[in-house]
Chains A and B, each alone.
Chain A
Amino acid sequence: MVCQDCGKRPSTLHFTKIVNGEKSEYHLCEACAREKGDVIPGTPNGFSIHNLLSGLMDFESVTKGASKAPQQLRCDTCGLTYLQFSKLGRFGCADCYTNFRHKLEPLLKRIHGNTSHNGKIPRRIGGEFRFKREINRLKLLMMQAIDQEEFERAAQIRDQVRAIESQWKREMS
């Protein structure tokens, strides 16, 4: 069955909504369902983003031939299993992000279209991290310059990176 919203992708989420005896059925692809998720009104037992998330994750295990291994993944710190996470749609502690990292990337990509943070940084740990982020950004530019055989520009960027690295060392000592 094709998604009734976009009419392009196959529908993978099917649900029925009954409001005051009026029944409506939905057959959506995951992308459209995610967008629709919050517009579909419901009570606390209704269709929430958390139900939707667990739907997305079930979908994943189905496509991968229901491999059991990832579901036995467990966070060492809080004890939450990946299976529990996929039911609840919530993590148990900050370390879940590290312990489930491999499973997390595709999920984050699907929710946010992105997997790395680009915003505010806490002041407490900010200093060092800001250096790292700037160096990574410059290194990327340097690789691009090399790819385009603009060696002079690449050398300039390399000098910039060195300058930042030495400034970093000075501030840390």
Chain B
Amino acid sequence: MGTHEFMKQPVSDWMKAEGPDSDIVISTRVRLARNITGAPFPMLCTNFQALDVFEKVEHAVSLPKLQELGPFEWVALNDLDPLEKKALVEKHLISPNFASEARYGAVFLSANESISVMVNEEDHLRIQCLSSGFQLSETFQKASCIDDAIDSKLEYAFDEKCGYLTSCPTNVGTGMRASVMMHLPALVLMKQINHMVHAVTQVGLAVRGIYGEGSEALGNLFQISNQITLGQSEEEIIEHLYQVASQLIDHERQARERMLQANNPRTIDRIFRSLGILSHAYIIDSKEALQRLSDVRLGVDMGYISGLSSGVLKELMVLTQPGFLQVEAGSALSPEERDMHRAQMIRQRLDQANRESTGKQD
């Protein structure tokens, strides 16, 4: 364990950059589903066929065209232990199902972890690009570029009428799922979020929790993505999502503005109470940690709390998830030990950040 680059730090390099509108949009993701001709989709692949796909892709990505895009690491899923897989899931580099079920699964990772290509997931290839902040077009361009590079080496399953053929008919056509991860605490506090979620689902977009399909909205984090993949071009899908997400950003900013004007002591109490708990708690579970971190982040973004960077909070959001925590601790932990370890780590980071900021002022 610990030999892989991705295990060395909880926050990927791409995540550290401050992207546009990063007070609200944490990250942007574009995923392209692709299959190779000549083999059944992974669900019906024999082990032999799955291995063949694995080897073909491994060969294709080793060719100069892709290596030109920067340093990459080829990671076979079989070589990873369960904790390492969990860490990859928590960094959104692979999906939970892929970690537990894939046969001859592999992931092709760029050094800064902004690009990951899953092999033998639900489809033969899932090309994923991540960016910090609100950068839909840029992220799509990047994914498309990787797609073209692989396209020049492997023959994709494509139909003139149906487009890129995928295992699930909900992905057929462009095979593209674009999403933005948004932190919407003010809309949640002002109780407008259900109304917003409903409106968003009415216009052909989906709202999910942070770990994808079926997951809960923890820490006021919402993932907005396109549902339709057939009939619209990639550019149209991106534009539509961009428009809707922009409106959500506006609504969240207005809600924060109203909260600032109202200057409600209860809101301020909530923010500082959460900061107090994070700074001093001895035991904290991941759900509470995410919620408290969301409160504090809102406090920072609204200017109530100074001297704490949102980068530290972003890092803690990933670092306090069960998998990473155990990686950090160097061994598997019981839930109670985990909650203690998590609380200790949050205390240390906040204390460190606090000392750094007072150091700067001196």
Contact = CB atoms under 8 A, between A and B. Distances in A.
The answer to whether A and B belong to the same complex is yes
B152 A41 contact: no
5 contacts: A112-B173, A117-B161, A119-B176, A120-B233, A121-B158
B273 to A, nearest CB: 25
Interface string B144-183: 1001100110011111111111111110111010000000
Given A38-B207, A116-B231, A44 B44 contact: no
Given A111-B170, A118-B232, A120-B144, A78 B40 contact: yes
Contacts of B41: 90-94
A113 B160 CA distance: 18
Contacts of A111: 169-170, 228, 230
A92 B39 CA distance: 10
Interface in B213-266: 213-216, 227-234, 236-237
Interface string B177-206: 000000000000000000001000110101
B168 A94 contact: no
Interface string A18-50: 000000000000000001101101111011111
Interface string A52-95: 01000000000000000000000001111000000011111110
A48 B213 contact: yes
Given A38-B208, A119-B174, A43 B214 contact: yes
Contacts of A123: 148, 151-152
Contacts of B37: 94
4 nearest A-B residue pairs (beta carbon): A114-B231, A117-B163, A94-B157, A112-B230
Contact of A92 (B43, B147, B215): B43
Given A49-B213, A97-B162, A124 B156 contact: yes
B148 A113 contact: no
Nearest to A52: B170
B321 interface: no
Nearest to A110: B169
Contact of B230 (A41, A117, A125): A117
Contacts of A38: 201, 206-208, 213-214, 227
Size class of the A contact interface (CB-based, 8 Å): 35 or more
Interface of A: 35-36, 38-39, 41-44, 46-50, 53, 77-80, 88-94, 97-98, 104, 107-108, 111-125, 129, 132-133
Contacts of B232: 114, 118-119
Given A112-B173, A114-B230, A120-B144, A50 B168 contact: yes
Nearest to B97: A44
A40 B121 CA distance: 24
Contact of B202 (A35, A91, A97, A115): A35
Contact of B165 (A77, A78, A97): A97
A120 to B, nearest CB: 6
Nearest to B228: A112
Nearest to A94: B157
A78 B172 CA distance: 18
A148 to B, nearest CB: 26
B170 A93 contact: no
Main secondary structure of the interface of A (DSSP, over half): loop
Given A38-B208, A112-B173, A120-B147, 18 more contacts: A35-B202, A38-B227, A44-B214, A49-B213, A53-B169, A89-B169, A91-B167, A93-B40, A94-B37, A94-B157, A114-B228, A114-B230, A114-B231, A116-B231, A117-B172, A118-B163, A119-B163, A120-B164
B209 interface: yes
A169 B321 CA distance: 59
B90 interface: no
A123 B149 CA distance: 10
B35 interface: yes
B122 interface: yes
Interface in B39-97: 39-41, 43-44, 96-97
A67 B147 CA distance: 42
- The CB with the most chain A CB atoms within 10 A, among B37, B155, B231, B234, is that of B231
Contacts of A78: 40, 44
A74 to B, nearest CB: 13
A133 B214 CA distance: 38
Contacts of B231: 112-118
A107 B172 CA distance: 12
B173 A117 contact: yes
A44 B151 CA distance: 33
A98 B158 CA distance: 11
A91 B215 contact: no
A104 B35 contact: no
A91 B96 CA distance: 21
Contacts of A36: 201
- The CB with the most chain B CB atoms within 10 A, among A79, A124, A133, is that of A124
